[in-house]
């Protein structure tokens, strides 16, 4: 199963939200977690900031009161593929819906000075690249993307992003990156180690039987 094509390059417009601690409730409010689907969350991304009225699952963007001031409602940022923000992006709940909403909107990379742990993990399973830069670098990017609309380009294999004259390297573990590049499915990969898991389990049943007492 492929979630994403083999993209080695992400190009596009950068939209910035100048806030720390943007939590998963901001990225997608709880109302929309009622969906039992894995796709179709694009209209609900940043719902509380993007619209002036109260939304409901199933009510689409064209039926809503748009907040014209919010960056993702302003052309050309409504087509942004990269999001720039501050510290601790994606803190809060474990809901993968937050990443699904970013992905469905078309965001392919998020740049922040740090990320919530569970959110960070969820990103790689859905083809969204979290890029961690230093606070100084983030500050520079904010300055740079303030007045003029900036195109940014991210090279996945070179782990490098460029915007204007600036070029930053970033760190990300290869195995996580590969998941984005190849769209690998973890369940299939792990089941190749089926026998190892079985052996481990039989040992555990023998040595720690109380764990299995309710089975």
Partner 1 sequence: MPKTLYDKLWKEHHITTLNSGESLLYIDRHYLHEVTSPQAFEGLAKKDLTPWRLGANIATPDHNVPTERGDSFNMDSIDDEISKIQVVELDKNCNRFGIKQFDITSNNQGIVHVIGPELGYTLPGMTIVCGDSHTSTHGAFGCLAMGIGTSEVEHVLATQSLKVSKLKNMHVRFDGKPQSGVTSKDIVLYLIGKIGTAGGNGHAIEFSGSYIDSISMEARMTICNMAIEAGAKVGLIAPDKTTIEYIKEHSNLEDDLFNRAKDHWKTLVTDKDAAYDKEIHIDISAIKSQVTWGTSPEMVVDFDANIPNPDNAPEEKKKNIQLAKEYMGIGSAEKLTDLKFDKVFIGSCTNSRIEDLREAAQAVKGKHIADTILEAIVVPGSGMVKLQAEAEGLDKIFQNAGFIWRDPGCSMCLGMNPDQLKPYERCASTSNRNFEGRQGNLGRTHLMSPLMAALTAINGTVSNPS
- Residue 155, classed as helix, strand or coil, is strand
Q: Are 12 and 135 in contact (CB under 8 A)?
A: no
Considering the rule CB under 8 A, would residue 29 count as an interface residue with partner 1? yes
Beta-carbon contacts of residue 13 (< 8 Å; ≥ 6 apart) = 76, 77, 79, 80, 81, 82, 149, 150, 151, 152
CA–CA gap between residue 77 and residue 87 (Å, rounded) = 21
Considering the rule CB under 8 A, would residue 48 count as an interface residue with partner 1? yes
Binding partner 1 (rule: CB under 8 A), the pick from 2, 34, 79, 160 is: 34
Binding partner 1 (rule: CB under 8 A), the pick from 15, 33, 45, 72 is: 33
Please state the closest distance from residue 120 (CB atom) to partner 1, in A. 9
Considering the rule CB under 8 A, would residue 103 count as an interface residue with partner 1? no
Binding partner 1 (rule: CB under 8 A), the pick from 63, 74, 182, 193 is: 193
- Residue 44, classed as helix, strand or coil, is helix
- Main-chain dihedrals φ then ψ at residue 196, nearest 5 degrees: -60, -45
Look at the alpha carbons of 38, 80, 28, 186 in this order and tell me if their dihedral is positive or negative. Answer: positive
Of 64-72, 76-84, 147-155, 204-212: span binding partner 1 (CB under 8 A): 204-212
Binding partner 1 (rule: CB under 8 A), the pick from 12, 116, 127, 130 is: 116
For residue 80 the two structure tokens come to 């942004």
Please state the closest distance from residue 103 (CB atom) to partner 1, in A. 12
Of 7-15, 67-75, 152-160, 203-211: span binding partner 1 (CB under 8 A): 203-211
Binding partner 1 (rule: CB under 8 A), the pick from 16, 81, 85, 126 is: 126
Of 59-67, 68-76, 88-96, 101-109: span binding partner 1 (CB under 8 A): 88-96
- Main-chain dihedrals φ then ψ at residue 17, nearest 5 degrees: -125, 115
């Amino acid at each position: 199963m492929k979630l994403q094509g083999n993209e080695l390059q992400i190009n596009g417009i950068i939209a910035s939200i100048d806030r720390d601690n943007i939590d998963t409730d901001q990225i997608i409010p709880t109302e929309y977690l009622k969906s039992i689907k894995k796709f179709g969350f694009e209209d609900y991304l940043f719902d509380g900031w993007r619209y002036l009225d109260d939304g409901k699952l199933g009510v689409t963007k064209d039926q809503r009161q748009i907040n014209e001031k919010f960056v993702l409602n302003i052309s050309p940022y409504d087509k942004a593929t990269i999001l720039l923000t501050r510290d601790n992006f994606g803190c809060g709940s474990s809901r993968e819906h937050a990443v699904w909403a970013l992905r469905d909107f078309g965001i392919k990379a998020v740049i922040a000075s740090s990320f919530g742990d569970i959110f960070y993990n969820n990103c790689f399973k859905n083809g969204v690249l979290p890029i961690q830069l230093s606070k100084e670098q983030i500050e520079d990017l904010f300055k740079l993307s303030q007045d003029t609309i900036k195109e940014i380009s991210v090279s996945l294999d070179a782990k490098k992003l460029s915007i204007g004259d600036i070029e930053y390297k970033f760190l990300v573990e290869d195995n996580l990156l590969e998941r984005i590049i190849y769209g690998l499915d973890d369940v299939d990969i792990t089941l190749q180690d089926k026998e190892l898991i079985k052996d481990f389990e039989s040992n555990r049943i023998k040595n720690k039987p109380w764990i299995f007492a309710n089975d």
